[in-house]
Chain A
Amino acid sequence: VQDTKKLQRLTATLTYQPTELANGAQELLDEVAASKITGEEERYSHIDLLDVDFNVEGAQQAFAQLQPALTRIDPVLTKTIAARFDALDKAVDAHRNGEDISGFVRYTTLSADDKRALAAAVKAVQEPLSRVAQKVASQS
């Protein structure tokens, strides 16, 4: 508990550069696209969807930090990314299952079409998100 509090105190004052946030969001999604969609990370427990959910949430939080500034720089791009994050959320939420301890169905039950839809939803965010770092860097 002590450590957690210490960690909270430290992170509260941490500030990230806008480009770090943008790249961090992209890296979290890259992880999803590159290894989690293939089901190779949780080879034994098959709770990959929980990992996916964490990564997506993390990426979304990083993006949320940038959103106010980015909206001023490029409102259309910001809206596109936000809408695609919403679509990705929906694609992940479709596999929620309250009865499983992970909160999601086991990854092994997903069909090839399910996995392709998830991968496409991730890519749909990544493509416009990849243009954010340059935008925020040029303004800071």
Chain B
Amino acid sequence: VSDTSRRRFLGSALGTLGLAAAGGTGYAVAASTERTDAGRPAAQVPFYGAHQAGIATPAQDRLAFAAFTVTTQDVTELQQMLGLWAAAAAQMTKGLPVGAVETAPLVPPIDTGEAYGLPASSLTITVGFGPSLFDDRFGLKGKRPAALAELPAFPGDTLAAERSGGDIGVQACADDPQVAFHAIRNFARLARGTAVLKWTQLGFGRTSSTSTAQATPRNLMGFKDGTRNVKAEDASDMDRWVWADGSDQTWMKGGSFLVARRIRMLVESWDTASLADQEQTFGRVKDTGAPMGKHGEFDRPNFEAMPANAHVRLAAPTANGGAKLLRRGYSYTDGIDPDTGLLDAGLFFLAYQRDPREQFVPIQQRLGAHDALNEYIRHTGSAVFAVPPGLSGPGDWWGKTLFA
């Protein structure tokens, strides 16, 4: 892309916001000095499309997630930030810096620089809006989808306020952790004065396969979980269980709802449980991942062969009126619990769905009350976001139709 078309691109991104000039109020995102490398590794996920990337995209290996609190009271500043984010994301998902890394000596570089020279690494940046954004501040009260209800309290919840909620959620996934972190860091920088980080979470390894081309990874308990995940190739499942139809709020048509739960695993306790206990807790064979009493991972489970409170049995669609989720979680570790010296590690659960009230909520009510796994896990953080549809092209931004 030539300099001039890049400038035009930025102009259109900001022009739609009714801004006179980018210079004063934001960065010169996508400034003229970036490189236009050919021959990078092909791992680029298209940023524009009917749906946001990072949902049906085959789950990348690494995650950086951030929840933001909007601090400005000025809706124009918020829109401007979302526009700058979109322009920056279009750059970063191509493996390009958000602006010049080498600038004039007296001014800080526009891009923070740590991903400079790294390939796009399948970076996707997925943005959603939390229930708290739809209060009195920005005139969005009447635009809140019914499905974006605050999650109810579940049995066994031990949520920390400082790891929960947020006006805006940003999921950055990539095959390189530095690339994912770079995206979150630059978003936080572009937000300065408009929004602040509320909490962040890094995930070091995917726990889900969202494509039939991917093998099911193991979680930190050493089990394959999520074998029967919704797969991107199954269009009817995607339409039935993942993509929102926008029936009550048209701006959400083609979007999805994201539930995030930070689930700490008491791994030291788990490690002292016998193999038989572990397998009965999950309802799967540890080695092969096969359902209990079966041989292959993808064999049809015989639920009667499992204890009534086995995880797989309780979470199965048949136990939940057919309801399925597209799970896209990551293993995390955040050092040790200072009080006990035990590892603070587990699953950062992410699930996309059409309506949490009919999917995540009833499933978790059942799991929270009965799941044999509860002895070994604690839900320590929680958030829900309405993830709007994809951006159509340069000039479009997250929530453009929401604010229209």
Contacts and interface: CB of A to CB of B under 8 A. Distances in A.
Interface of A: 19, 74-80, 84, 116, 120, 123-128, 130-131, 133-134, 137-138
Given A76-B23, A77-B23, A123 B192 contact: yes
B20 A76 contact: yes
A124 B192 contact: yes
Interface range for B: 10 to 19
A56 to B, nearest CB: 15
Interface stretch (B101-109, B352-360, B364-372): B101-109
25 contacts: A19-B106, A74-B24, A75-B24, A76-B20, A76-B25, A77-B23, A77-B24, A78-B24, A80-B24, A84-B193, A116-B196, A124-B192, A124-B193, A125-B193, A126-B192, A127-B189, A128-B24, A128-B193, A130-B107, A130-B108, A131-B108, A133-B107, A134-B103, A134-B106, A134-B107
Q: Classify the interface of chain A: helix, strand, loop or mixed.
A: helix
A130 B106 CA distance: 9
Interface in B1-38: 20-21, 23-25
A40 B105 CA distance: 32
Contact of B21 (A76, A116, A126): A76
A134 B104 contact: yes
Contact of A80 (B20, B25, B106, B107): B25
Nearest to A79: B24
A84 B23 CA distance: 16
A121 to B, nearest CB: 9
Nearest to A126: B192
Contacts of A133: 106-107
Contacts of B71: 120
- List the 8 closest A-B pairs by CB distance, nearest first: A76-B24, A124-B193, A77-B24, A134-B107, A127-B192, A134-B106, A133-B106, A120-B196
A128 B103 CA distance: 15
A116 B24 CA distance: 25
A127 B193 contact: yes
A9 to B, nearest CB: 32
A126 B21 CA distance: 20
B194 to A, nearest CB: 8
Contacts of B105: 134
Nearest to B28: A131
A15 to B, nearest CB: 19
Contacts of B189: 127
Contacts of B20: 76
Contacts of B103: 134
Contacts of A124: 192-193
A76 B23 CA distance: 8
B10 to A, nearest CB: 15
